[in-house]
């Protein structure tokens, strides 16, 4: 079945161009300053403003579990389960008692454990229409019989204290209506089809099968119940196990992994917040290669939304999200041999899409590396999975920080695309932000010469068609002119983009191919 993919998805995975998508350019990782044992337990900043990504040691809050950057990619806020810090790693005013639940006085509450700050237990979103207000959604453990998990939020104003930030509200209930729901630990969000607002989804646990669905707009938080559609129940036996939820990069699918059972996948309507067409990938299809139970299952979609990668501890699978029968498309991408890893073997776990177009996987164990899928938009072995593919200078916590995907904008042609936010406009604005390249002739029948900036010392030139699809990508030398030939391509508008050796935009232009 053919699917349409919006321009921002391709630019996200290929060009890293739009300012809109730089909200996840700097990742805080590791153990931070709590474990003052050796440099192996330092915090780290992983930066995607260059290629390959940069890595530096950094003293920070222990075990960050959620973060957000500003529009230029600089780290602005992060959270470790009970405290907030700004991009200068300073504790933000009035954040000393965020998430004051049953485990607040217990140090692990600030170290990413499942019940107090672990598996996607927190998520930042910039308040729609504001440059400085941010919402932090988080799971709080309440001291009631058997314990109870509720979804809370805090509101942070980063314009306060000369830009160092202040928490205005905290420990506010995000559930506005109905009897309190006992929440699961996984928070995810996707952009509304209007290109501005956000859907926030958190599943319930135990025998309840509803999802708490919120809408964040300039008016604040609104509550939407998807009561007409039943999800797969979550039981006490899965509490504290490793799972993952999320949306496909094109926003059409919502997925939730369920330890021991498998993966639930549904269609998602970005206009109404409704779920439909549930499919289920059974644990039988994603078994470990040693036959053990599925105590940890991660999942992440490819940057173009075509494929879902499912990690079941010792195996990595690929499924086709564009198929009418997703479970039938199973392909084994990698088997991990624990014999080669010592007594505490590495295991595939959470996967996250990165600004460089790759997917990075963490492990259920304390490790000094990330696994990498280099070409996640390609089918089967062509996706180029590499175990231990990205080395780290210090140990990574089991939890990769949670963040929202800002690369997805409006849903063109939908009934809710009514605010004038347009993906093509965003691309053109981003192009206009960089130095203009001189192309001759323009228009041309296919052969062109691109004059490179005088100070340019080599990099990559990329040409995309009007739909944002990559047509050509070539390395450039240090000469003043770069030649390209697209005589075999159809007539139309093309984007010419230049990146330096570190992957930074160095110039852009529009070119008309006319035969």
Q: What is the pLDDT of residues 348-365, one digit of tens each?
A: 788 999 988 899 998 877
Q: Which range among 58-67, 132-141, 369-378 shows the weakest confidence by mean pLDDT?
A: 58-67
Q: Above 60 in pLDDT, residue 234? A: no
Q: What is the pTM of this model?
A: 0.79
Q: Above 90 in pLDDT, residue 125? A: yes
Q: What integer pLDDT is reported at residue 454 of this predicted model? A: 77
pLDDT category at 109 given cuts 50, 70, 90 is: very low
Nearest CA among 100, 190, 185 for reference residue 405: 190
CA 257/CA 458 separation, integer angstroms? 44
Nearest CA among 165, 32, 172, 57 for reference residue 107: 32
Higher pLDDT, residue 243 or 415: 415
Q: What would the mean pLDDT of 435-450 be, rounded to a whole number?
A: 88
Q: What would the mean pLDDT of 218-246 be, rounded to a whole number?
A: 69
Q: What would the mean pLDDT of 309-328 be, rounded to a whole number?
A: 93
CA 263/CA 281 separation, integer angstroms? 5
Q: Which domains does the chain have, with CATH numbers?
A: 19-396 (2.130.10.10), 435-513 (2.60.40.10)
pLDDT tens-place string over residues 428-442 = 655 565 667 889 999
Q: What integer pLDDT is reported at residue 429 of this predicted model? A: 58
What letters, b where the CB count within 10 A reaches 16 and e where it falls short, cover 91-100?
ebbbbeebbe
pLDDT category at 2 given cuts 50, 70, 90 is: very low
pLDDT tens-place string over residues 455-509 = 777 787 878 776 556 677 777 877 788 888 888 888 888 888 887 765 566 788 8
Choose the most confident range, by mean pLDDT, from 330-334, 395-399, 411-415, 460-464.
Answer: 330-334
Query: Distance of CA 83 to CAs 14, 153, 167, 401, Å?
Result: 35, 13, 10, 14
Query: Distance of CA 280 to CAs 231, 263, 283, 305, Å?
Result: 10, 6, 9, 18
Q: What would the mean pLDDT of 69-92 be, rounded to a whole number?
A: 89
What is the percentage of the chain residues whose pLDDT exceeds 70? 79
Evaluate the CA torsion angle 22, 140, 221, 308 in order and state its sign: positive
- Arithmetic mean of pLDDT over the chain: 81
pLDDT category at 104 given cuts 50, 70, 90 is: low
Q: Above 50 in pLDDT, residue 8? A: no
Q: Which range among 104-118, 152-166, 236-250, 378-392 shows the weakest confidence by mean pLDDT?
A: 104-118
Q: Above 70 in pLDDT, residue 57? A: yes
Q: What integer pLDDT is reported at residue 432 of this predicted model? A: 60
Q: Which residues contact 144 (CB under 8 A, 6 or more apart)?
A: none
CA 326/CA 277 separation, integer angstroms? 11
Q: Above 50 in pLDDT, residue 192? A: yes
Higher pLDDT, residue 310 or 149: 310
The position carrying tokens 């289920």 is 280
Higher pLDDT, residue 62 or 212: 212
pLDDT tens-place string over residues 261-282 = 889 999 999 999 999 999 999 9
Q: Above 50 in pLDDT, residue 16? A: no
The position carrying tokens 């996987």 is 361
pLDDT category at 416 given cuts 50, 70, 90 is: very high
Q: What integer pLDDT is reported at residue 309 of this predicted model? A: 98
Q: What integer pLDDT is reported at residue 207 of this predicted model? A: 46
Query: Which H or E run contains 44?
Result: strand 43-47
From the CA atom positions of the chain, what is the Rg in Å?
A: 23
Three-state DSSP at 206 gives coil
């Amino acid at each position: 079945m053919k699917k349409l993919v919006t321009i921002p998805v391709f630019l996200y995975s290929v060009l890293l161009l739009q300012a809109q998508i730089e909200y996840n350019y700097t990742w805080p990782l590791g153990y931070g300053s709590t474990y003052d044992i050796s440099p192996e337990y330092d915090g780290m900043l992983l930066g995607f403003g260059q290629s390959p990504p940069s890595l530096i040691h950094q003293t920070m809050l222990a075990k960050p579990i959620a973060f957000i950057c500003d529009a230029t990619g600089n780290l602005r806020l992060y959270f470790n389960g009970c405290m907030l810090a700004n991009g200068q790693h300073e504790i933000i005013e009035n954040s000393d008692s965020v998430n004051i639940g049953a485990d607040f006085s217990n140090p692990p509450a600030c170290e990413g454990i499942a019940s107090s700050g672990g598996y996607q237990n927190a998520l930042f979103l910039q308040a729609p229409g504001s440059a400085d207000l941010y919402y932090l959604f988080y799971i709080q453990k309440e001291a009631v019989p058997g314990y109870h998990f509720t979804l809370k939020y805090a509101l942070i104003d980063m314009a306060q204290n000369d830009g160092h930030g202040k928490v205005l509200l905290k420990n506010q209930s995000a559930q506005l209506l109905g009897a309190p729901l006992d929440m699961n630990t996984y928070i995810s969000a996707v952009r509304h089809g209007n290109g501005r607002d956000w859907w926030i989804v958190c599943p319930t646990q135990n025998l309840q099968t509803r999802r708490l669905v919120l809408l964040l707009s300039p008016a604040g938080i609104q509550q939407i119940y998807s009561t007409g559609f039943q999800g797969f129940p979550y039981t006490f036996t899965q509490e504290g196990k490793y799972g993952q939820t999320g949306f496909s990069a094109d926003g059409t699918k919502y997925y939730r992994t369920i330890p021991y059972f498998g993966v639930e996948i549904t269609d998602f309507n970005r206009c109404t917040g409704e779920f439909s067409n549930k499919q289920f990938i059974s644990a039988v299809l994603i078994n470990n290669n040693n036959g053990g139970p599925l105590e940890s299952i991660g999942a992440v979609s490819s940057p173009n939304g075509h494929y879902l990668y499912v990690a079941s501890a010792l195996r990595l699978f690929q499924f086709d999200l564009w198929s009418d029968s997703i479970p039938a498309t199973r392909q084994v991408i990698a088997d991990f041999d624990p014999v080669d890893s010592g007594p505490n073997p590495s295991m595939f776990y959470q996967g996250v899409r990165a600004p460089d177009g790759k997917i990075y996987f963490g492990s259920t164990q304390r490790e000094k590396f990330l696994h990498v899928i280099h070409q996640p938009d390609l089918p089967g072995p062509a996706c180029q999975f590499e175990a231990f593919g990205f080395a780290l200078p210090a140990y990574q916590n089991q939890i990769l920080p949670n963040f929202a995907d800002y690369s997805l904008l409006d849903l063109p042609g939908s009934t809710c695309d009514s605010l004038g936010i347009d993906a093509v406009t965003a691309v053109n604005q981003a192009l206009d932000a960089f130095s203009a390249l001189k192309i001759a002739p323009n228009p041309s029948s296919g052969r062109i010469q691109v004059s490179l900036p005088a100070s340019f010392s080599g990099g990559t030139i990329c040409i995309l068609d009007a739909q944002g699809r990559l047509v050509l990508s070539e390395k450039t030398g240090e000469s003043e002119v770069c030649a390209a030939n697209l005589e075999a391509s159809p007539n139309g508008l093309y984007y010419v983009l230049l990146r330096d050796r570190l992957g930074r935009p160095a110039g852009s232009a529009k070119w008309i191919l006319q035969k």
